[in-house]
Amino acid sequence: MSQREKFIDLVLERRYPVIELCNAFGISEKTGYKWIGRFEREGRPGLADRSHAPHVAPRQLPRSVKKAVISLRELHPSWGPRKLRAALARKEPDMPWPAASTIGELLRREGMVLSRRRRGSIGKRLDTQLTVASTPNHVWSTDFKGEFRLASGPYCYPLTVLDAKSRYLLGCTALFSTASLPVQLVFTRLFQKYGVPEVIRSDNGVPFASPNALGQLSTLSVWWIRLGIRPERILPGCPQQNGQHERMHKTLKAEATRPASATLREQQRRFDRFIREYNTDRPHEALGQELPATSYSPSPRSFPARLPRLEYPANVEVRLVSKGMAAWRGKTVWLTKSLDGQEVGFERTDTDIWNINFGPLLLGTYHDPSNTFLPEVLWKTHPPAGND
């Protein structure tokens, strides 16, 4: 400001040509005449700095676009910029919606984004040889989202089931406990509605697994095997191996559990709304922002009216398990109570050595003379490849 005033004072003295003064002050002749013009119009206040912001922002979002983005975000607080843009574009495809980064900046300006603390790397993903889903119903994943207390006092245990390929949320059921029978009833309804998958992936908790049983077999996993389903478990302490399911749980927690409903029935109604929205309204990034409902179709493997009997070759001797034991030529072989009421097959491999199988599952080897059973739970066949 002082330099401009000094420049004008020397111009007013008329002792030097304007071009020489401009050279002396290190400015162009155009700039010099600009300051002279401002002084003549406004006096010395005209020499003060002015804002360089444009009068009209060429990339400013239209008010209607801002309103649409903010309204959708308020309706779905957990949706990020990419999902918001995909949903808006699906609803109004002819509208020139801004980029996801621009939508993200708008949300930050409006105070609709919470800052997050940086988290350390979880390290390289372990190679657990889990089945890679190639088609819908090739792999289902299941888990209990962490229990929470209802407003009326009891706890709610949400049982969730997700199709790994299409990300279609098959079920989210509010239960009072993790008991096996209610879970089996839930899966019965799902199998009747959507058919039977090839693989069901879970963690190692009850009722999906029984920690102290042979092969951690539970009554639920035994039932799955009878239906021709291969139970598959992630490694203990490695929930990232079921990452897509855990990510769905994060969205479920944010949108359908806070605050908790008063009763289990009311909470179930919220879960039902969440299922419809998750499958038919919420774009999914892993699907190229498409909807899970557009990628899913029911399984061609229908749920049988009666539980099919396990088939064993003619050379296999079949025994019924009772109280966890199988009778064998005047002796008893302890297996696991999870197999009560099931038929196992004794298959000779050597003179005195027999493999004990439960359908496609090898339970271990039995040495007849010493009445010794050595557990070795392995699948006798390769994982199903999925139906193309």
Give the closest residue to 175 by CA, choosing from 192, 190, 160: 160
Please check whether residue 388 lies inside any domain of the structure: no
Q: Range of 271's domain?
A: 139-295
Same domain, 369 and 254: no
Q: What is the dihedral of CA 219, 223, 228, 232, to 10 degrees?
A: -30
Q: What would you measure as the largest C-alpha separation in the chain, in angstroms?
A: 129
Strands 331-334 and 343-348: unpaired
pTM of this structure: 0.72
pLDDT-based confidence at residue 125 (cuts at 50, 70, 90): very low
Q: Is the pLDDT of residue 119 over 50?
A: no
| Same structural domain, 290 and 143 | yes
Please tell me whether residues 97 and 213 are part of one structural domain: no
Asked if residue 254 and residue 375 are part of one domain, the reply reads: no
Tell me, yes or no, whether 232 and 329 share the same domain: no
Q: Tell me the C-alpha to C-alpha distance, in Å, between residue 139 and each of 85, 197, 207, 237, 291.
A: 30, 6, 19, 21, 18
Q: Are residues 277 and 154 in the same domain?
A: yes
11 lies in the same domain as 76 = no
Band (107; pLDDT cuts 50, 70, 90): confident
Q: Tell me whether residue 309 is in a domain.
A: no
Reply yes or no on whether the pLDDT at 207 is more than 90.
yes
Cβ atoms of 156 and 147 within 8 Å: the answer is yes
Separation between Cα atoms, residue 343 and residue 258, nearest integer Å: 47
- Check if the beta carbon of residue 199 is closer than 8 Å to that of residue 140: yes
Mean pLDDT of 29-43: 88
pLDDT at position 182: 94
Residues 30 and 78 reside in one and the same domain: no
Measured distance CA(69)–CA(97) in Å, rounded: 9
Residue 304 lies inside a defined structural domain of this protein: no
Residue 204 covered by a domain = yes
Same domain, 149 and 289: yes
Domain count, the chain: 4
Q: Is residue 119 part of a domain?
A: no
**pLDDT over threshold 60, residue 115:** no
345 and 242, same structural domain?
Answer: no
Percent of the chain exceeding pLDDT 70 equals: 92
Residue 115 domain flag? no
Position 122 pLDDT exceeds 50: no
Average pLDDT over residues 145-172: 95
Per-residue pLDDT, 384 = 67
Name the packing angle between helices 100-109 and 81-91 (round to 10°): 110
- Whether 185 and 231 map to the same domain: the answer is yes
Residue 10 belongs to some domain of the structure: yes
Per the domain annotation, does 221 fall within a domain? yes
Structure tokens at 174: 């509010």
Whether residue 167 sits in one domain with residue 291: yes
Per-residue pLDDT, averaged over 136-145, amounts to 96
At 83-96, the pLDDT tens digits run 888 888 888 888 88
Measured between its terminal Cα atoms, the distance across the chain in Å is 76
